[in-house]
Homo-oligomer: A and B are copies of this chain.
Amino acid sequence: MGKRIVVIGAVAAGPKAAARVKRLDLDAQVIMVDQAELISYGGCGLPYYISGEVSDINELMSTSFHLKRDAKFFEGAKGVEVRTRTRALAIDRAQKSVRLQNLATEELYSLDYDQLVLATGSTPIRLPIPGAELPGVFTVANPSDAEAIREPVSKGEVEQVVIIGGGAIGLELAEAFTELWGLETAVVELQEHLLPGLLDSPLARMVQAHVEAQGVKVYCGEQVQQLEAENGRVARVVTSKRTLPADLVIMAVGVRPNSQLAREAGLLVGPTGGIVVNQRLQTSDPLIYAGGDCIENYHLLTGKRVHYPSGSIANRQGRVIGTNLNGGHEIFEGVIGSYIMKLFELSVGCTGLSLAAAQREGFDAFETLVSQADQAHFYPGQELMYLQLVADRPTQRLLGLQGVGAMGQGVKARIDAVGAMLKFKPTLDDLSNLEVAYAPPFAAALDIVNAAANTAKNILAGTNHPLPMDDFISIWKDKYAAGVTFLDIRERDNAAPLVEKWGPLWVNIPQGELRYRLAEVPQDKKLILVCNAGMRSYESQVILDHAGITGTANLQGGYAALKKSEPIP
């Protein structure tokens, strides 16, 4: 028997590292321990088990060929010994030994290691508010949580759900409760818009409009202050602005890395709470590797250490660890921040930095919002896709992309094309001429990612004077006092209902007639140009600038993006 490798944690990074090193070194003894009974589950699938789309919890623990990934499976298929219900209590680095407890028998024992892997994951944050521990209040960390949530729901014992946290998990759960179980569901988000870590407000507003249209109540900018009980169970959620009835409350306000074991063993833990590792995923003890949700990662765009939990990244890190345990020299360079989610009929994705994040990091960043069909305009069945591009003004460097579109892989295609380039420090020029795959059923001839870059370049060149969606909405709220005229340069049929409704505030000159009708352009107030997608209004702006009618502003993303975001005008 060769060296002994002990792996603590049997979800994602742990099993991957264990199986990989065993394949490279069949003489090694690989022992994987986990405090839970159920291991190697697809944690990202828990919302789909709660919703019922995944009918059996065991499917989350199965291979693609329908074998359950339990201790017996790991023994036979991977040659890895698994000890479930076994908690790691302490690491003795001097002795190279882990103190373990069998939770079934309460037996305590030590296990020597030659190398150790920490894949201890993360724990959902439970807000320290009154009532947080009441029955009926859950976080979603593992299959047991999911079963405990689904059971009363499936029995019809739940009518009103409040989800605290409007991030990705919170919204996936909102869909699960609304779409599949028909429950009254409310989401309370502390920040001013949904998905605050992933999106800026324009696309977040589209997401909110969509989930609200599906019946989810959304309360942003509200702090949950306490949970109140009735008959010993949670019954109400009290926010800074209202009280919501609830017989089930989910806290989905983020996770914390499980780094206590590492910290107590004297390993370096960073300010994010994650275990510090080098690019080979070694901790400050070179015999101990760590990966997955318990570590902090280098962010390839900001150069900072971040806690960035992801089942997908954990898997990739597991492989790197497995190789390096065997003396290999793989590196994990860092994270970019790519994400995609299904939300009812939408797919919502992002990569890199949001505008808010980029500005916080000190970039002189600006954004571009574009709307374009996800197929050639003549190909039947296309739907509009919306992208927000974030770039650095002085260097023209691409910093991030966010997208909202119909469900399917169209948004992922754009996110991944840009995400794949980001570590190579691409500029807007690289994206403007990026050769993405084209045929009419898949894209316009000039793909929306190319169009986004071109629009950003026009903004930088000073030929496109954009009006961000947020500013449009602010102006619209106070439209009579704002000293503006809206010049709708779409065709008559499109503009007519607004012209009729808003009188002299909303004027229509179709773009193709504008160069002949310059005398009719109202010049007493600031002009806000509106077309359907923001392209024709840009073309109009060029004509107006040349005619000396300057100071106009062009609604980014056009009326299509506005309509997707807000019930106005």
A interface vs B, CB < 8 Å?
12, 16, 23-24, 26, 42, 44-45, 48, 53-54, 59-60, 62-67, 73, 76-79, 310-316, 319-320, 330-333, 335-342, 347, 349-351, 372-374, 376-380, 407-410, 412-421, 424, 429, 432-447, 450, 454, 463, 490-491, 494, 511-513, 515-516, 532-533, 536, 539, 542-543, 546
Contacts and interface: CB of A to CB of B under 8 A. Distances in A.
B320 A433 contact: yes
Given A66-B491, A77-B539, A420-B421, 19 more contacts: A23-B542, A42-B445, A44-B376, A45-B379, A64-B444, A65-B532, A76-B511, A76-B516, A77-B536, A316-B446, A331-B429, A338-B437, A340-B438, A408-B409, A409-B410, A412-B443, A417-B419, A419-B436, A420-B436
Contacts of A532: 64-65
Contact of A313 (B339, B342, B435): B435
Given A442-B342, A546-B26, A409 B413 contact: yes
Nearest to A493: B66
A436 B415 CA distance: 8
B435 A59 contact: no
A442 B420 CA distance: 17
Contacts of A542: 23, 26
A61 to B, nearest CB: 9
A65 B319 contact: no
Contacts of A349: 437
A79 to B, nearest CB: 6
Contacts of A338: 435-438
Contact of A44 (B424, B445, B446): B445
19 contacts: A26-B546, A64-B377, A64-B444, A65-B494, A78-B539, A310-B438, A312-B445, A312-B446, A315-B445, A319-B432, A339-B439, A340-B437, A342-B439, A407-B441, A409-B412, A413-B413, A416-B420, A420-B421, A424-B424
B516 A53 contact: no
A531 to B, nearest CB: 8
A444 B372 CA distance: 28
A315 B432 CA distance: 11
A527 to B, nearest CB: 18
Nearest to A53: B380
Given A416-B417, A435-B313, A24 B376 contact: no
Contacts of A444: 64
A532 B63 CA distance: 12
A331 B427 CA distance: 13
A435 B408 contact: no
Contacts of A443: 312, 412
Contact of A420 (B76, B310, B315, B417): B417
A555 to B, nearest CB: 15
A42 B378 contact: yes
B440 A42 contact: yes
A520 to B, nearest CB: 15
Contacts of A77: 511-512, 536, 539
A490 B65 CA distance: 8
A429 B42 CA distance: 25
A340 B442 contact: yes
A26 B542 CA distance: 8
A79 B16 CA distance: 61
A508 to B, nearest CB: 14
B440 A419 contact: no
Contact of A438 (B62, B311, B319, B347): B311
Contact of A378 (B62, B332, B433): B62
Give the top 10 A-B pairs by smallest Cβ distance, nearest first.
Answer: A76-B512, A340-B437, A312-B438, A64-B377, A413-B413, A409-B409, A416-B417, A26-B546, A77-B512, A59-B378
Contacts of A419: 417, 435-437
A54 B380 contact: yes
Contact of A433 (B333, B450, B494): B333
A312 B446 CA distance: 6
A336 to B, nearest CB: 5
A442 B437 CA distance: 19
A557 to B, nearest CB: 14
A373 B378 CA distance: 31
A450 B316 contact: yes
Contacts of A546: 26
Nearest to A418: B420
Contacts of A59: 378
A536 B65 contact: yes
A27 B56 CA distance: 69
Given A53-B379, A512-B67, A439 B44 contact: yes
Contacts of A450: 316
Contacts of A62: 377-378
Scoring A26, A341, A376 by chain B CB atoms within 10 A of each residue's CB, the highest score goes to: A376
Nearest to A77: B512
A456 B516 CA distance: 62
A378 B76 contact: no
A429 B330 contact: yes
